[in-house]
Amino acid sequence: MLSTAHEAMPTRRTSLEWVSHVMDGHPAAPYLCASAIRRHAAPLTDRARQGQSELFAWRDDKLHDTAAYVAQIIKQNHPDLRVPYHARWRHFEAGGVDRWAHTARQFGLAASDGQHDAQRLHRARVRVELAIISVLLDAGAGAMWRYLDHETSQILSRSEGLAVASLRLYESGQLSSDPRQALRADARALIALQADDLARAFQVSATNPLVGLDARVHLINRLGKVVHNNPAIFASADEPDQHRLGNLVDTLIRLAPTGRIAAADILALLLRTLGPVWPSRMSIRGVNLGDCWPHPYAPGGLIPFHKLTQWLTYSLLEPLEEAGLIITDLDALTGLPEYRNGGLLLDSGLIAPLQPGFFESTWRPESQAVVEWRALTVIGLDLLANAIRAQLHVDAAAFPLARVLEGGTWSAGRQLAASKREGGGPPFRIELDGTIF
């Protein structure tokens, strides 16, 4: 393994071992990849579809109508079917305002055809930092929290509010230890962030509580430690002692000497690198498995979801493509098993709980019911995607899952929730800590 990013780099090796302490042969490695998610979720879905689950009934007869509902929303919102990726960038546009474009102009980062490579790379580093910070702060905010965006006078909540709050935090320069560069997230500043700092930035108060405030700060602090402890990824030849989050762009470019990189390889690098950021729930021989949970019918008794890391991977696609990379095999990633997509399955009747009092109970994330619901969501989204494409007369190459999620299932889940529950919250109560959904 290399110790610094400016040492000689391999150009032919496909393994991620040179940038990760999780070697390919480590027993945790099979859980830290995209293919593991479907492989472990499929048996649980098969049991439900065969009527063998004690927790959920699967209704195949609801698949067509659910897909039709989602397809209708896609056509309403995107009549030309030109749907962007499901990514954090959409939330920065809440209320019809393209805040990232304004920030880019304000800081001299607006995209243009005449930009040279150094300018494009600088812009990509900034966008990657913003995406990572914002996604890590994106877990459920709770029903009471609101954010007033002073720049637009808009009051925002949930994912949109968290996105805009994180953008304003990044703009403020508080995540940079270099006063000359506000748009920068480096190890020193990330480690130094305090709960009071985030509370002020996110306008948290006794009357405006944010779920999991301390957990979010700890995520950012641990992210800073990961950036500091991984110079092979986050250091640069120009600043070998200043480890910056955005240098991930340079690392991915080095890993793709042909200019092409698979989405699953990006996810694998993030999973192996960012593992210590997440709370230590399940681990194998000292390696944190992150968003991975026990279930008696899953292969090996565990099922990985990696929701936030997949959400992050989707959110990095646009900055990396802008930097010149071609991202391949997008559908190796899965749908995101969270309460919008999973809520769509429940609210549409595609799946139904079998336990009395399910909707009245409060469930912990590690409960078998929540784990199985998330597994059904992963495979259910694949089945829905195929049915939706058939109704739209498009194929997977033209309409990958990243577009199905953005144009349809996430929006449909939110719209259906709003029609069924005041405030449009999750379909059932889950204890949140700000690090999962």
The pTM (predicted TM-score) of the whole model is: 0.90
Percent of the chain with pLDDT strictly greater than 70: 93
pLDDT, position 211: 87
pLDDT, position 126: 97
pLDDT, position 361: 94
* Residue 13, pLDDT above cutoff 80: no
pLDDT, position 89: 94
Grouping H, G, I as helix, E, B as strand and the rest as coil, residue 429 is: strand
Do 410 and 86 contact (CB within 8 A), yes or no?
Answer: yes
According to DSSP, the residues that pair with 156 across neighbouring strands are 147
Q: What is the pLDDT of residues 123-145, one digit of tens each?
A: 999 999 999 999 999 877 888 99
- The band of 218, judged by pLDDT with boundaries at 50, 70 and 90, is very high
Do 282 and 293 contact (CB within 8 A), yes or no?
Answer: yes
- The band of 6, judged by pLDDT with boundaries at 50, 70 and 90, is very low
* Contacts (Cβ under 8 Å, ≥6 apart) of 38: 334, 378, 379, 382
Mean pLDDT of 259-269: 95
Mean pLDDT of 187-216: 95
Q: What is the pLDDT of residues 79-117, one digit of tens each?
A: 999 999 999 999 999 999 999 999 999 999 987 766 678
Grouping H, G, I as helix, E, B as strand and the rest as coil, residue 278 is: coil
Other CB atoms within 10 Å distance of the CB of residue 214: 12
Reported as type and span, the H/E element at residue 58 is strand 56-58
pLDDT, position 422: 86
Mean pLDDT of 382-391: 97
DSSP H helices in 51-138: 63-77, 99-106, 117-136
Reported as type and span, the H/E element at residue 23 is none
Mean pLDDT of 298-312: 94
pLDDT, position 16: 57
- Closest C-alpha to 141, from 320, 394, 379, 338: 338
Q: Which amino acid is at 231?
A: P
Grouping H, G, I as helix, E, B as strand and the rest as coil, residue 336 is: coil
**Long-range contacts at 239-242 (CB < 8 A, ≥ 24 apart):** 240/4, 240/5, 240/6, 242/177, 242/178, 242/186
Other CB atoms within 10 Å distance of the CB of residue 355: 11
What is the DSSP annotation of 193-252?
A: --HHHHHHHTT-BTTB--TTHHHHHHHHHHHHHHHHH-HHHH--SS-TTS-BGGGHHHHH
* Residue 309, pLDDT above cutoff 90: yes
Mean pLDDT of 377-396: 96
Do 340 and 113 contact (CB within 8 A), yes or no?
Answer: no
* Contacts (Cβ under 8 Å, ≥6 apart) of 265: 16, 255
* Residue 19, pLDDT above cutoff 80: no
- The band of 14, judged by pLDDT with boundaries at 50, 70 and 90, is very low
**Two structure tokens written together for 48:** 């439900």
- The band of 433, judged by pLDDT with boundaries at 50, 70 and 90, is low
pLDDT, position 99: 96
The residue ranking higher by pLDDT, 279 or 217, is: 217
Percent of the chain with pLDDT strictly greater than 90: 78
pLDDT, position 11: 32
Q: What is the pLDDT of residues 145-171, one digit of tens each?
A: 999 999 999 999 988 999 999 999 999
**In the predicted model, what is the mean pLDDT of the chain?**
90
* Residue 37, pLDDT above cutoff 50: yes
Other CB atoms within 10 Å distance of the CB of residue 313: 28
pLDDT, position 66: 97
Phi and psi at residue 430, to the nearest 5°? -125, 135
* Residue 9, pLDDT above cutoff 50: no
* Residue 250, pLDDT above cutoff 60: yes
Other CB atoms within 10 Å distance of the CB of residue 10: 13
* Residue 353, pLDDT above cutoff 60: yes
Q: What is the pLDDT of residues 404-416, one digit of tens each?
A: 999 999 999 999 9
pLDDT, position 281: 82
